[in-house]
């Protein structure tokens, strides 16, 4: 990562139940489901490691022991576990619980039900370079709705020429989907008194204020939400590397 205000830590969401991935997730947590012989969690963490991120916080809840065992020998990035075995806190609450591990500075977030095939340069490095805390409350990596794999909804955001994002209206189709990766500030979560709460309202509030921005993903984004999507992702990767 570049110096200065670039994030040095990431919050990796690995605590979900993975209900849409059943029956695979009856015995295996969704982040450990494999695409092309590699766990979804490793696809994401490897991208951060290759981009030079030193640390990552991984939250665990469902089948947490399997995830902890899987991660015990990883060195890049260094892994810190945020234990949510007692209660699933949703993404906002998970961030709040993990703040002692994340620190006070802006941080990356990343889901583990999607990953990407890189384009010419690291998308995470591009995201870090574009981060401007004076103008932004959040910066998201967004992918084209039409060409991404496993997208079964009409997109998430419109993006203007300056990169500012606005939420898709109920009956609209939006050109971009949220990739599950972004940069956030800690303050909104530190100030929230709730234990369990979602992340998306913070993003939509930032959009309403004109302080939510996006960087277009270069390469191929793959959303792996169901057992069927595993094969679709593997086929798409094979085609992209021909």
**Would you list the domain boundaries of the chain?**
10-240
CB 222 within 8 A of CB 115: yes
Q: What is the pTM of this model?
A: 0.93
pLDDT, one tens digit per residue, over 20-62 is: 999 999 999 999 999 999 999 999 999 999 999 999 999 999 9
State the pLDDT at residue 83. 96
Q: What percent of the chain is modeled with pLDDT above 90?
A: 93
Please give the CATH topology (third level) of the domain spanning 10-240: Spore Coat Polysaccharide Biosynthesis Protein SpsA; Chain A (3.90.550)
Q: How far apart, in whole angstroms, are the C-alpha atoms of residue 84 and residue 222? A: 27
Taking residues 213-236, report their average pLDDT: 95
Q: Of 3-7, 54-58, 178-182, 209-213, which range is least confident?
A: 3-7
Tracing tokens 């798409």 back to the chain, one arrives at 236
State the pLDDT at residue 3. 41
Question: With 80 as the cut, is the pLDDT of residue 149 above it?
Answer: yes
State the pLDDT at residue 2. 45
Give strand ranges (E) for the chain.
10-13, 34-35, 38-39, 55-60, 78-83, 107-110, 114-118, 138-144, 157-159, 165-167, 176-184, 212-216, 219-223
pLDDT, one tens digit per residue, over 36-45 is: 999 999 999 9
Taking residues 133-149, report their average pLDDT: 95
Two structure tokens written together for 193: 């008194």
Query: How far are the Cα atoms of 127, 134, 167, 222, 224 from residue 181, in angstroms, in the given order?
Result: 9, 20, 17, 13, 15
Two structure tokens written together for 186: 């800690």
């Amino acid at each position: 990562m570049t110096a200065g205000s670039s994030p040095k830590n990431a919050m990796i969401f690995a605590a979900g139940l993975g209900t849409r991935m059943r029956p695979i997730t009856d015995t295996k947590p969704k982040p450990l489901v494999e695409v092309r012989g590699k766990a979804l969690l490793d696809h994401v963490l490897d991208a951060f490691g290759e981009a030079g991120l030193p640390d990552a916080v991984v939250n665990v809840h469902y089948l947490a022991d399997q995830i902890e065992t899987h991660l015990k020998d990883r060195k890049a990035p260094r892994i810190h576990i945020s234990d949510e075995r007692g209660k699933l806190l949703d993404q906002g609450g998970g961030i709040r619980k993990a703040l002692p591990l994340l620190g006070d500075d802006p941080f990356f977030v990343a889901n583990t039900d999607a990953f990407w095939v890189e384009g010419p340069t690291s998308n995470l490095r591009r995201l870090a370079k574009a981060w401007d805390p004076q103008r932004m409350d959040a910066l998201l990596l967004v992918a084209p709705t039409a060409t991404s794999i496993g997208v079964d909804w009409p997109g998430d955001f419109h993006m203007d020429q300056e990169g500012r994002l606005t939420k898709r209206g109920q009956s609209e189709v939006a050109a971009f989907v949220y990739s599950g990766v972004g940069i956030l500030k800690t303050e909104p979560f530190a100030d929230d008194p709730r234990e369990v709460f979602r992340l998306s309202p913070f993003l939509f509030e930032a959009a309403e204020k004109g302080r939510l921005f996006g960087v277009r993903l270069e390469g191929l984004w793959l959303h792996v939400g169901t057992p069927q999507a595993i094969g679709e992702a593997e086929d798409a990767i094979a085609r992209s590397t021909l």
